[in-house]
Structure 1
Amino acid sequence: MAEKPITKDADVAASETGSIHENTVVVPQSGPEREAIVRRLKLKLDLRLAPYLSLLYLFNALDRGNIGNARIAGLEEGTHLTGNDFYNALSFFYFGYTISQIPNMFILKKVTPAVLVGVTMILWGICSTSMAAAKNYSGLVAARFFLGVMEAGVGPAAPIILSFFYLRDELAWRTALFYGSSTFAGAFGGLIAYGVATNLVNEKLAPWQLLFIIEGIPTIFLGFLTLFFLPNSPETLERWFVTPEEKQVAIERSHSGHNADKSLLDKRQLLAAITDYKNIFTCLIYIGLNIPLASYTSFLPTIIKQMNYTNAMAQLMTVPPYACAVVTVFAFCWNSDRTQRRGYHVAASALLACLGYILLISSGKNGVNYAGACFVAMGLYPIIPLMLSWVANNNVGHIKRAVSIAMLNTFGQCFATVGTQIYKANTAPRYFMGYGVCLAFTVVMIVVSLCLSFVLKRENAHRDETYGPPQELTAEEQQAAINDGIYDKHPSFRYFI
């Protein structure tokens, strides 16, 4: 059910939720004037919040995935890696990322989003840059582990931040803008690596060291900027950014989007998130996603180099697959918001990835393999924003929603370590085992997402039959549902399917 603005008079609603103050303004609850205010507000948010989060995640993905480009720029020789050292170093990132998921969600409730995101950006930028100073396996592993610990502060927090400002049926498109930047990161990473390999010659620093420095230092700068620029909540929007009427509408929209509770730690919501069957389904889907995704981002340069390209050309040839993925990310997520369907789009996207892996397995021709690599990217990347939006849509309560997203990422990143191990050198150049494992998990995504859609559709139909058409949930009704431990089981709540 797409949530609409609360229907109570603004000053009455604000007083009942404890947000009234001297500057509270009364805005119309319907009609052309209200619609004009909403349009202006969304335009301002779309020009500031979503693009800025996208920029931050671009550097998040860039600093995470640049080790794949660094590998063919001489990383293994420069740090004296042997045997499976490179694959193990990849895994340590996901160990750090996994253990930091749920703690970061509680920190987000304790400090402002700008502080959490800004500080963790500064710290992961330092970790990323410090990889240029790694002299051996131990140094590289330590930097990768702490990079994972710090990067966990941004990715899971972004859907929570976006849900403060956008309604349920507006979320996937904006989340796509955020997570779609990871595809740009793949493309930019390849271009930067190509530029370093062909144009930057330094007697003191190897190309792989220059790569870490060039991509790590801007992250530190953006972290400091984030402390002052990232909006924290509708209540704290600045006067220079929105008018009083737009701010009031932003607050009302936030309340109508299941953001009424202000508790720091609600143990009942924590337990509800852990025991919710929907979250078990979504975790299975995300496990199925992260195994092929982790392998793809880390090994695409290596896979392309096996097609007999030079090192520099292999870096450049990583760009087109990510460019193709940009198109499908925005197309799938736009249509998902338009139709208010998530699971069917996840299944269709995973089907594209299946096609890509089938091409990679079935042919030894470079052209066919390269087309397969493009289809894999086009299929995997849209699933990230679709899944995070789906989880945010179907959980009522800050803590329940935050823990549900953290669970999704925790389980996904735990199994991402499998993706870092399946392209071992002894399976080159065809990588049958790696491609086969990834194909199997894309099939898992299709089956589980369709099953969850069916179950949610049946639950919505049952509520329609039992309680009649859904009614709008006011902020007070949402808070009552949270206080009573009902959450998304409220008779007027309908799931996105």
Structure 2
Amino acid sequence: MSNDSITEKAGIVTHENELQQAAIPQAERDAIVKRLKLKLDLRLVPYLALLYLFNSLDRGNIGNARLAGLEEGTHLTGNDFYNALSFFYFGYTISQIPNMFIMKKVTPAVLVAFTMVMWGVCSTSMAATKSYSGLVAARFFMGIFEASVGPGAPIILSFFYLRHELAWRTALFFGSSTFAGAFGGLIAYGVSKNLSNEPLAPWQLLFIIEGVPTIFLGIITLFILPNSPETLESWFVTPQEKQVAIGRARSGHNTDATALDKRQLIAAFKDYKNILNCLIYIGLNIPLASYTSFLPTIVNLMGYKDAQAQLMTVPPYACAIICVFIISWSSDRTRNRGFHVAGSALVACIGYILLISSGNVKANYVGACFVAMGLYPIVPLMLSWVANNNVGHTKRAVSIAMMNMFGQCFATVGTQIYKNPTAPRFFMGYGVCLAFTAVMVVLSLALSFILKQENIRRDFEYGEPEPISPEEQQKAIEDGIYDNHSSFRYFT
């Protein structure tokens, strides 16, 4: 039996002693766990997915707005559009780590609700901008507020699910961003085709239509989003289900209650695994940021025009959705992350090779689909990989935030690489993306190999991992051992 199943089973058994003392058969206890997961799957995961859908819609609609007349309406010239894209990532980057600490201090529901209302206001206000400076200000503050949901959702999920259950749930959550790409294209198509003669310009209507619902959803979030297993409402779970949920959280190394542990903060930055994770995520975010913002432009330059160009942005995202779910499901089943990251990156490499090597419109469009199919699954895989391999709330939260922070820093590169005179071929842009995607392949395989060798070393030195109780987990955290504990084994 793997350490993962031993450790997680130990956590459940430790906390289910009360159920055992009540003489409840094992089959019934298993049924309790099954009911609990079903309830969470029907409430927590879809709602986080809905939040991220609007997060992605509001972030990426500027690409569709560009086709709908944004540059003319805000009097952008030269590189103004590219610079406006970059300012979002500046704001997103600086608020990553602070948001993780605020989340533990004020609870996830409060933080997410407040920031959703605020980024919805920022997104909607872009409809009123008349200048470059106004657009930049709105994008910058939208980046600051949007930084709560992306890195925060995996942390919230790790409170309720075991390590081998995370990638699939994270994929369901993150898959909404690919829905956002497709959905955003459909909205833009409808606006451009049917509302072009309204008093407001189509690009203004896009910001309003996609921004206003975010504000209302943020208000509702305060009452719907659960904060932790301990705070699950009695109408939602039975006392036995709540007890099991708390036990599962503890077996998932969520025993520390400190909002900020400085030793864990330092440990996160010193951990070589997190450094490699950051490098992989940098390799992902450069092509991903460019793809999200420039797919409408790329499609337009392939010969599709106006509303048709908006509509043709949908199929690549539809292909990506399917790959996100299949690859993440496989990753959880095999309990492997590295090979799945590398395989996905290889698919994206094929896409960029098609984009670079062919001037044929159909080949380019197939290449764009391959890029989406390869890039998008890597996000839930990486978020799950980091959450799997960091023990302690602060260390896990900082590690995810750190990975996002460095990734988004370099995402600004992705917003600049297509401003070259080689359109519609974009040799430099595609070449840069291909290079960084290839780096992901090498680094993910290297990290997987390193972690596998470390697991083998621990097996040889300590033998088969022993089950540890929540109290022992807490002591390991307090003593600064974290994932170096002799009974801990890494997801490779």
User: TM-score if structure 2 supplies the norm length?
Assistant: 0.97
Secondary structure, in 3 states, of the residue corresponding to 1:155?
Answer: helix
Aligned-partner residue type, residue 408 of structure 1? M
- Residue 326 of structure 1 aligns with which residue? 321
1:10/1:26 contact within 8 Å kept: no
Deviations along 1:330-380, whole A, 9 cap, x unmatched? 000000000000000000000000000000000000000000000000000
Partner of 2:49: 54
Corresponding residue for 1:17?
Answer: none
Question: Which residue identity is paired with 2:9?
Answer: K
Cα deviations by residue, 1:192-217 (Å, 9 ceiling, x for unpaired): 00000001134421000000000001
Residue in 1 that maps onto 2:169: 174
Residue 11 of structure 2 aligns with which residue? Answer: 6
Counterpart AA for 2:325? F
- % identical aligned pairs: 76
Take 2:63 and 2:198, find their aligned partners in 1: how far apart are those partners?
23
Secondary structure (helix, strand or coil) at the match of 2:75 reads coil
Q: Does 1:358 align with 2:363?
A: no
After superposition, the Cα gap between the structure-2 partners of 1:193 and 1:25, relative to the gap in structure 1 and judged at 3 Å, is: farther
Q: What SS does the aligned partner of 1:427 have?
A: coil
Name the residue aligned to 2:438. Answer: 443
User: Within 2, Cα distance between the matches of 1:427 and 1:141?
Assistant: 26
Question: Which residue in 1 is equivalent to 2:71?
Answer: 76
What is the identity, as a one-letter code, of the residue corresponding to 1:129? Answer: T
Contact 1:7-1:29 at 8 Å conserved across structures: no
2:12–2:251 contact (8 Å) kept in structure 1: no
| Residues 1:142 and 2:137 are matched in the alignment | yes
Q: Does structure 2 retain, via aligned residues, the 8 Å contact 1:89–1:141?
A: yes
Aligned to 2:128: 133
**Structure 2 Cα separation of the partners of residues 36 and 27 of structure 1:** 15
More deviation in 238-247 or 487-496?
238-247
For 2:148 and 2:437, locate their aligned partners in 1 and report how far apart those are by CA, in whole Å. Answer: 27
For residues 257-272 of structure 1, what are the structure 2 equivalents within 5 Å? 257-272=252-267
Match of 2:243 among 248, 251, 254: 248
- Residue 452 of structure 1 is matched in structure 2 by 447
CA contact (8 A) 1:9 1:29 kept: no
Q: 1:483 aligns with which of 469, 478, 485?
A: 478
One-letter code aligned to 2:155: I
Q: Structure 1 regions of 5+ residues with no counterpart?
A: 14-23
Q: Does 1:279 align with 2:274?
A: yes
- In structure 2, the CA distance between the partners of 1:261 and 1:196, relative to structure 1 (3 Å rule), is same
Q: CA deviation at 1:109?
A: 1.1
Inter-partner Cα distance in structure 1 for 2:93 and 2:24: 43
Aligned to 1:195: 190
Aligned residue in 2 for 1:309? 304
Quickly say closer, same or farther: Cα 1:319–1:401, change in 2 above 3 A: same
Q: Which amino acid aligns with 2:413?
A: V
- Cα deviation digits, residues 233-257 of structure 1 (max 9, x gap): 0001011111111000000000000
Which residue number corresponds to residue 90 of structure 1?
A: 85
1:6 Cα deviation after fit: 2.1
Partner SS state of residue 469, structure 1: coil
Native 8 Å contact 2:11 2:252 kept in 1: no
Structure 1 runs of 4+ off > 3 angstroms?
7-13, 24-30
CA distance in 2, matches of 1:309, 1:252: 55
Tell me the residue number matched to 2:30. 35
Contact 1:126–1:216 at 8 Å: present in 2 too? yes
Question: One-letter code of the match for 1:362?
Answer: S
Q: Which amino acid aligns with 1:185?
A: A
Greater mean alpha carbon deviation, residues 305-314 or residues 28-37: 28-37
Q: 1:264 offset after TM fit, Å?
A: 1.5
Residue 234 of structure 1 is matched in structure 2 by: 229
Paired AA for residue 116 in structure 1: L
Q: 5+ residue gaps in structure 2?
A: none
CA contact (8 A) 2:68 2:192 kept: yes
Secondary structure class of the residue paired with 1:176: helix
Q: 3-state DSSP class of the match of 1:264?
A: coil
Amino acid at match of 1:195: G
Q: Which amino acid aligns with 1:488?
A: D
> Deviation of residue 7 (structure 1)?
5.8
Contact kept? 2:95, 2:144, Cα under 8 Å:
yes
Q: State how far apart, in whole Å, the 1-side matches of 2:350 and 2:23 are.
A: 51
Taking the aligned partners of 1:246 and 1:119, their CA distance within structure 2 comes to 30
Residue from 331, 337, 343 that aligns with 1:336: 331
| Residue aligning to 2:461 | 466
Matches of 1:300 and 1:130 in 2, distance apart? 24
1:344·1:449 contact (CA, 8 Å) conserved in 2? yes
Matched letter for residue 208 of structure 1:
W
CA–CA separation in structure 2 for the residues paired with 1:129 and 1:377:
27
Q: CA RMSD in A?
A: 1.4
Q: Secondary structure at the match of 2:390?
A: coil
Q: Secondary structure at the match of 2:123?
A: helix
User: Retained in 2: the 8 A contact 1:10–1:27?
Assistant: no
Query: What's the CA shift for 1:4?
Result: 1.9
2:69–2:203 CA contact under 8 A, matched in 1: yes
Instruction: Specify which of 157, 160, 163 is matched with residue 165 of structure 1.
Output: 160
**How far off is 1:444 after superposition?**
0.4
| Offset from partner CA, 1:7-66 (integer Å, 9 cap, x none) | 6554879xxxxxxxxxx9966797211110000000000000000000000000000000
Q: Is the 8 A contact 2:281 2:404 kept in 1?
A: yes
Partner of 1:16: none
In the alignment, residue 412 of structure 2 is paired with which amino acid? T
Task: Please report how far the alpha carbon of residue 5 of structure 1 lies from its aligned counterpart in structure 2 after TM superposition.
Answer: 4.6
Tell me if structure 2 keeps the 8 A contact 1:270–1:400: yes
Secondary structure of 1:496's counterpart equals: coil
Structure with more of its chain in helix, by fraction:
2
User: Deviations 1:137-170 (Å, cap 9, x if unpaired)?
Assistant: 0000000000000000111110000000000000
| Corresponding residue of 1:18 | none
